[in-house]
Amino acid sequence: MSDTVESVIVAIDGPSGTGKSSTSKAVAAKLGLSYLDTGAQYRAITWWMIANGIDVQDPEAVADAAGKPAIVSGTDPAQPTITVDGEDASGPIRTQEVTSKVSAVSAVPEIRARITELQRSIAAAAPQGIVVEGRDIGTTVLPDADLKIFLTASAEARAARRAGETKGADLSATREALVKRDAADSSRKASPLAKADDAVEVDTTDLTLQQVIECVVTLVEEKRTAAR
């Protein structure tokens, strides 16, 4: 392996609207790393549950079906893909219905065990390394990641970003939904949203996306240099 391409595993965690996806994709592309959006996997299994008539409020029913869908994640940061049973799910998993139900599905331990195993196998197979973004990557999925970053931002800033992504969205309703999701994700028993003890916290409230990307790229490059 040449000096410029040490394999590195980067875990980026944080709540919704902190810029995780945009930052992670850009950092991976810039550094020649693979990329994995773990939230998309939870959305995909939630979408499958809804499409197959599983009551997502019934943890036992969700647990029983946890192993059924075949979820495949593409790890090219320029064009990340996700399929469920061979069908492109990248559009359907972003609906409001999936967004409102993903926390309930994600809280079921059997679902987390299934998806965590999938995430670990993808990370282990990435030749040059990978940027993995989610909510429990540094704490549960990849506790031995080379670099852990926890992105934060004020609820107001996050709601403004989310509302900006969804044309015509109501700002106060968006903020309320984000706060509700944070509470659900942070309080669940299985792998809650939490900052790892050894994670570097980056507050993105007053930073542009480009500044956040540059900050994370610098952190990764410093980690690679230190490892040489």
**Residues 215-228: tens digit of each pLDDT:** 999 999 998 888 77
**Residue 115: partners with Cβ closer than 8 Å, 6 or more residues away:** 38, 41, 42, 45, 71
% of residues, the chain, pLDDT over 90: 74
Task: With a cut of 70, say whether residue 168 has pLDDT above it.
Answer: no
Confidence of residue 104 (pLDDT cuts 50, 70, 90): very high
Taking only the tens place, the pLDDT of each residue in 111-132 is: 999 999 999 999 999 988 999 9
Please check whether residue 36 is in contact with residue 119, taking contact to mean a CB–CB distance below 8 angstroms: yes
Evaluate if residue 40 carries a pLDDT over 50: yes
Burial of 153 (0-12, 13-18, 19+ CB in 10 A): buried
Which residue segments constitute the domains of the chain, with CATH numbers given? 8-222 (3.40.50.300)
Read off the amino acid at residue 21: S
Query: Average pLDDT, stretch 78-93?
Result: 97
Question: What's the whole-number mean pLDDT along residues 2-28?
Answer: 85
| Mean pLDDT of the chain, nearest integer | 91
